[in-house]
Structure 1
Amino acid sequence: MIEVATGKPEIESTDFEAVFVNNRKLAQISAHLSRFNPIRVMRMERMEIRHSAILAWLLNPQESHGLSDQFLKAFLGEALRGQATLGFPTALDVVRADLRKAQIRREWQNIDILIHLPEEGWAFVVENKFDSRQHSGQLTRYIEKVQTLIQHEERELTVRGIFLTLHDEEPADPRYAPINYDMICEILPDVLTREAQSLTVEAKTFLNHYIEILEEELGVSQQRTEMEKLARELYREHKKVLDFVMEHGANSDFAIAMHSIAGDDPDREVPVTIDRKAYHFGWIENDKASFLPAQWYDGLGGERYDWEGCEDWWMGYPLVAWLQLVSDADGNGGQLRLYAEVGPLSSHEFRQALIEKIIDAAAKSGTDKVRFHRGAAEEGKRFSKFLKQNSLGIRDVQDADEIAVGAKKLLKKFEDEFELVGKLLPKFQKYGVRAQ
Structure 2
Amino acid sequence: MLKRETTTSPRSLHPEKCAAQQTPSLSHQLAAFFEHWPQPLILNSAVNQPVEIDVPALAHFFDSLSQPLDAMRQNAAFFDPWEVIKLGRKEVLNTAILAWMLNPRGSHGFGALALMALLGNVQTSKGEAFPADPGRYCHVRAESSPGGDSAQRVDIEIDAENVYLLIEAKIDAPEQYDQLARYCREAESRAGARPWTVIFLTSDGRPPLTGGEYRVSCLSWQVLAEFIEPTLRRHFRQQKVQSATRSAAELSVLRFLSHIRRF
- TM range, normalised to the smaller chain? 0.5 to 0.7
Q: Is the 8 A contact 1:68 1:100 kept in 2?
A: no
Distance 1:100 1:46, change over 3 A: farther
Q: Is the 8 A contact 1:61 1:69 kept in 2?
A: yes
* SS of alignment partner, residue 120 of structure 2: helix
- Which amino acid counterpart does residue 140 of structure 2 have in structure 1? I
- Which amino acid counterpart does residue 166 of structure 1 have in structure 2? S
- Which amino acid counterpart does residue 40 of structure 1 have in structure 2? E
CA distance in 1 between counterparts of 2:122 and 2:172 reads: 19
* Structure 1 residue 36 displacement after superposition: 4.1
Q: How does 1:4-403 map onto structure 2 within 5 Å? A: 36-80=79-123, 86-87=125-126, 90-91=128-129, 93-95=130-132, 97-99=133-135, 101-109=137-145, 110-117=153-160, 119-120=161-162, 122-148=163-189, 150=190, 156-171=193-208, 172-174=210-212, 175-196=215-236, 197=239, 200-215=246-261, 217-218=262-263
- Which amino acid counterpart does residue 251 of structure 2 have in structure 1? T
Q: Is the 8 A contact 2:184 2:211 kept in 1?
A: no
- Which amino acid counterpart does residue 104 of structure 1 have in structure 2? V
CA distance in 2 between counterparts of 1:61 and 1:74 reads: 12
CA distance in 2 between counterparts of 1:189 and 1:113 reads: 20
* Structure 1 residue 140 displacement after superposition: 1.6
CA distance in 2 between counterparts of 1:214 and 1:170 reads: 19
CA distance in 1 between counterparts of 2:170 and 2:204 reads: 8
* SS of alignment partner, residue 58 of structure 1: helix
How many correspondences in the alignment? 174
Q: Is the 8 A contact 2:187 2:198 kept in 1?
A: no
* Structure 1 residue 51 displacement after superposition: 1.3
- Which amino acid counterpart does residue 114 of structure 1 have in structure 2? E
5+ long unaligned stretches in structure 1: 1-21, 219-436
Normalized per residue, the structure richer in strand is: 1
* Structure 1 residue 74 displacement after superposition: 0.8
CA distance in 2 between counterparts of 1:101 and 1:183 reads: 27
Distance 1:181 1:36, change over 3 A: same
CA distance in 2 between counterparts of 1:189 and 1:157 reads: 27
* Structure 1 residue 128 displacement after superposition: 0.6
* Structure 1 residue 131 displacement after superposition: 1.9
CA distance in 2 between counterparts of 1:162 and 1:192 reads: 21
* SS of alignment partner, residue 199 of structure 2: strand
Report % sequence identity: 26
* Structure 1 residue 159 displacement after superposition: 3.7
CA distance in 2 between counterparts of 1:94 and 1:158 reads: 8
- Which amino acid counterpart does residue 180 of structure 1 have in structure 2? S
* SS of alignment partner, residue 195 of structure 1: helix
CA root-mean-square deviation: 2.8
Q: Deviations over 1:99-145 (max 9, x none)?
A: 4521111111211001112x32x311111112222112011212333
- Which amino acid counterpart does residue 105 of structure 1 have in structure 2? R
Higher-Rg structure is 2
Distance 1:112 1:187, change over 3 A: same
5+ long unaligned stretches in structure 2: 1-58, 63-68, 146-152
CA distance in 2 between counterparts of 1:99 and 1:74 reads: 15
Q: Which has the higher contact order (CA 8 A, sep 6+)?
A: 2
Distance 1:168 1:184, change over 3 A: closer
- Which amino acid counterpart does residue 142 of structure 2 have in structure 1? R
Q: Is the 8 A contact 2:206 2:219 kept in 1?
A: no
Q: Is the 8 A contact 2:169 2:201 kept in 1?
A: yes
